[in-house]
Amino acid sequence: MGKIISVSNQKGGVGKTTTALSLSAALGVLEKKVLLIDMDPQSNATSGLGVDSNEATLSSYDLIIGNAKASNIVIQTSSPNLDLIPAKIDLVGLEIEIVNESSREYLLKNALEKIKEKYDFIIIDCPPSLGLITLNALTCSNSVIIPIQCEYFALEGLGKLLNTIKGVQKVHNPNLSLEGILLTMFDSRLRLSNQVKQDVKKHFGNIVFNTIIPRNVSLGEAPSHGESILMYNATSKGSKSYLKFAQEIVNLN
């Protein structure tokens, strides 16, 4: 049965989608069967895999509101062993639509019930907010990866996210765990990057992943070519780092 991992941080620009996309692709390269679910209305994970969200007839919106079965929404991607449930702009209004549903926090969990056995890992790219979409993702997940950029204000808002995770554990999903905190956009030349790394490791110790994702030009370029970092530039620092990170995730599980 597939392990469901949400990649979440309500703060934008921390490498959340890059992490969800690159980790999924790297796990696929390591011969794991992976499903990436794009739950962000910006649909960057979708376009980052070369899928035009406007051309996708069904999306994660249809999955949550029960318009279609997960198996009918899944798209095969050009990345090895990686399937995708794309996102479209209609996710923007989803939270208003489901707010009066009686079991609104469990819609995604119920929708994935029949498909999760087909995959080793299901990775969910959450939106940069702590609303109902993220709550649905956390309620159906086994664990959460929190990307944090090695920049000023890195830890801002982290307490809020950790409190949300505790609330979900208490009320909706007692089995939810913290997979770990991933340091992204690290630049070894900058004193600030090194300071943030030290602070995060001092505060959170063992829950910080060993792998650190560096600042890397190819990581920024890959999505505009509709390719994962591993397909776009397999020898880049970014590609090697995410492969190492995927291996760390496999070893932990």
Domain-wise residue ranges, the chain: 3-252
Average pLDDT, the chain: 91
Cα 128 from Cα 14, distance rounded (Å): 10
**Residues 71-104: tens digit of each pLDDT:** 999 999 999 999 999 999 888 888 888 888 888 9
Split at pLDDT 50, 70, 90, the class of 1 is: low
**pLDDT, mean of residues 220-249:** 89
Q: Is the Cβ–Cβ distance between 53 and 46 less than 8 Å?
A: yes
**pLDDT, mean of residues 223-240:** 86
**What's this model's pTM, rounded to 2 decimal places?**
0.94
HSE, side-chain direction, 13 A CA sphere, residue 28:
24
Q: Which residues contact 118 (CB under 8 A, 6 or more apart)?
A: 2, 33, 35
Cα 215 from Cα 211, distance rounded (Å): 13
**Residues 52-69: tens digit of each pLDDT:** 888 888 999 999 998 899
**Residues 19-50: tens digit of each pLDDT:** 999 999 999 999 999 999 999 999 999 999 98
- In sequence order, which ranges of the chain are alpha helices (DSSP H)? 16-29, 44-47, 60-65, 70-73, 94-98, 107-112, 132-140, 158-171, 191-204, 217-221, 229-232, 237-252
What does CATH list as the number for 3-252? 3.40.50.300
